[in-house]
């Protein structure tokens, strides 16, 4: 039998010993995250991923998931995995903007692509290749790690009636969205999720974005702000990331490498499915139980933010060659996919809405 087995798998990596069985080495990995342990959506993805990997590998690769701060703070996930403190991380690429401004584009661009479009770019538009190239010098391999869908514009203590109302507004708004806010006269404030409620309640900030109803309800933001604006613009499909320490990955046998790759892909979709299913119930609770006023942002605000967004992107691209390289790829893909979605996804939403009235 041994000879037959060897023959059948001659082109693979499998090493068959003379008993026709494979030596089993086991691995124990740490996965650090930027979210509270088991946080809905964001925090569930790495848990499901780790469970799947352990089961697919028959226990040969066990991955222990750490919540934010359990092993390292959320903003240190990148360094922890790069330095080998943990073999994997789950976070959002725009958290590393201080190190690599261009990384922000792998999370979201204001007025950019939504979840479906981002996934098309990552896997069939060259996005993931650019991402890998960018993280290579840090000894990291990135994988798409889920998506929240369109994020809402956020919670405001006062009504927004025109672009002028954004002037002087102290708002928690990370990444490129924050730079856009600044350009229209607002004051972006950097805060982690856990500090949002008290900062909003105390008046340290006038407004904050977070994710959408599913996550925002859990933080109780409705108790501290009267208005919830839904016209999403700053993160139209925020992508999360899995990062893997390259040396640790390359030390694995090929089957475990593929198991990680395929399990991240499944987790990438699973998170979006969870948000898609859960946001509406949370929105109903916010509106009906907590009497939250939900409304769109005025057209002139959206136009002003869009104009500022283009300026922010072009300024980065003009001064940072790496930023420019990713931006050109992103922009080209977005232009094409938008053209098609105009007559397919958008057209369908429009028609379905029209006939249902």
| Binding positions for its own copies, 201-220, rule CB under 8 A | 212-213
Q: In whole angstroms, how close is the CB of 75 to its own copies at the nearest point?
A: 28
Other beta carbons within 10 Å of 354: 8
Which phi and psi (to 5°) does residue 91 adopt? -160, -155
| Of the residues 299, 315, 318, 319, which one makes contact with its own copies according to CB under 8 A | 299
The smaller minimum CB distance to its own copies, of residues 41 and 175, is found at 41
Q: Does 288 bind its own copies (CB under 8 A)?
A: no
| Of the residues 279, 312, 323, 330, which one makes contact with its own copies according to CB under 8 A | 279
C-alpha 299/C-alpha 161 separation (Å) is 10
Other beta carbons within 10 Å of 196: 22
| Of the residues 38, 162, 198, 303, which one makes contact with its own copies according to CB under 8 A | 303
Q: Does 352 bind its own copies (CB under 8 A)?
A: yes
Q: Does 38 bind its own copies (CB under 8 A)?
A: no
Distances (CA, A) of 81 to 146, 239, 245: 19, 19, 6
Site for its own copies in 85-144 (CB under 8 A): 111, 114-117, 119-125
The smaller minimum CB distance to its own copies, of residues 78 and 330, is found at 330
Site for its own copies in 213-252 (CB under 8 A): 213, 230-233, 236
Binding mask 173-192 for its own copies (x = CB under 8 A): --------------------
Q: Does 46 bind its own copies (CB under 8 A)?
A: no
Distances (CA, A) of 54 to 1, 27, 71, 97, 256: 29, 10, 21, 32, 10
The smaller minimum CB distance to its own copies, of residues 61 and 205, is found at 61
Q: Does 254 bind its own copies (CB under 8 A)?
A: yes
Contacts for 182 with CB less than 8 Å, ≥ 6 apart:
188
C-alpha 50/C-alpha 31 separation (Å) is 9
Let me know: does 234 contact 180? Beta carbons within 8 Å.
yes
Binding mask 3-22 for its own copies (x = CB under 8 A): --x--xx--xxx-xx-xxxx
C-alpha 186/C-alpha 188 separation (Å) is 6
C-alpha 224/C-alpha 156 separation (Å) is 9
The smaller minimum CB distance to its own copies, of residues 106 and 111, is found at 111
Alpha carbon dihedral 94, 100, 106, 108, in 10-degree steps, equals 50
The smaller minimum CB distance to its own copies, of residues 96 and 155, is found at 155
Q: In whole angstroms, how close is the CB of 137 to its own copies at the nearest point?
A: 27
């Amino acid at each position: 039998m041994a000879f037959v087995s060897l023959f059948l798998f001659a082109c693979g990596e499998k090493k068959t010993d003379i008993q026709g069985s494979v030596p089993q080495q086991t691995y124990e990995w740490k996965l650090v995250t930027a979210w509270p342990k088991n946080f809905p959506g964001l925090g569930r993805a790495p848990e499901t991923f780790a469970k799947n990997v352990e089961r697919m590998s028959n226990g040969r690769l066990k991955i222990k998931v750490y919540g934010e701060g359990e092993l390292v703070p959320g903003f240190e996930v990148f360094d922890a995995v790069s330095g080998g403190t943990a073999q994997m991380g789950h976070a959002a690429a725009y958290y590393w903007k201080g190190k690599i401004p261009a990384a922000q584009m792998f999370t979201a661009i204001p007025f950019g692509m939504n979840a479906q479009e981002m996934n098309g770019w990552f896997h069939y538009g060259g996005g993931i290749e650019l991402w890998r190239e960018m993280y290579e010098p840090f000894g990291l391999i990135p994988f798409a790690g889920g998506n929240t869908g369109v994020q809402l514009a956020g919670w405001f203590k006062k009504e927004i009636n025109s672009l002028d109302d954004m002037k002087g507004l102290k708002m928690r708004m990370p990444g490129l969205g924050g730079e856009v806010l600044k350009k229209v006269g607002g004051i972006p404030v950097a805060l982690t999720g856990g500090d949002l409620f008290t900062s909003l309640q105390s008046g340290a900030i006038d407004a904050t974005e977070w994710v959408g109803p599913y996550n925002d309800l859990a933080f109780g933001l409705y108790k501290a702000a009267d208005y919830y604006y839904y016209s999403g613009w700053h993160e139209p499909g925020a992508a999360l990331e899995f990062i893997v320490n390259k040396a640790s990955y390359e030390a694995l046998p090929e089957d475990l490498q593929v198991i990680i790759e395929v399990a991240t892909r499944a987790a990438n979709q699973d998170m979006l499915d969870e948000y898609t299913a859960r946001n509406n119930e949370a929105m109903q609770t916010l509106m009906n139980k907590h009497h939250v006023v939900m409304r769109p942002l005025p057209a002139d605000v959206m136009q002003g933010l869009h104009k500022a967004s283009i300026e922010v992107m072009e300024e980065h691209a003009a001064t940072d060659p790496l930023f420019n390289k990713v931006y050109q790829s992103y922009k080209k893909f977005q232009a094409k996919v938008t053209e098609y979605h105009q007559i397919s996804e958008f057209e369908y939403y429009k028609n379905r809405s029209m006939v249902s009235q």
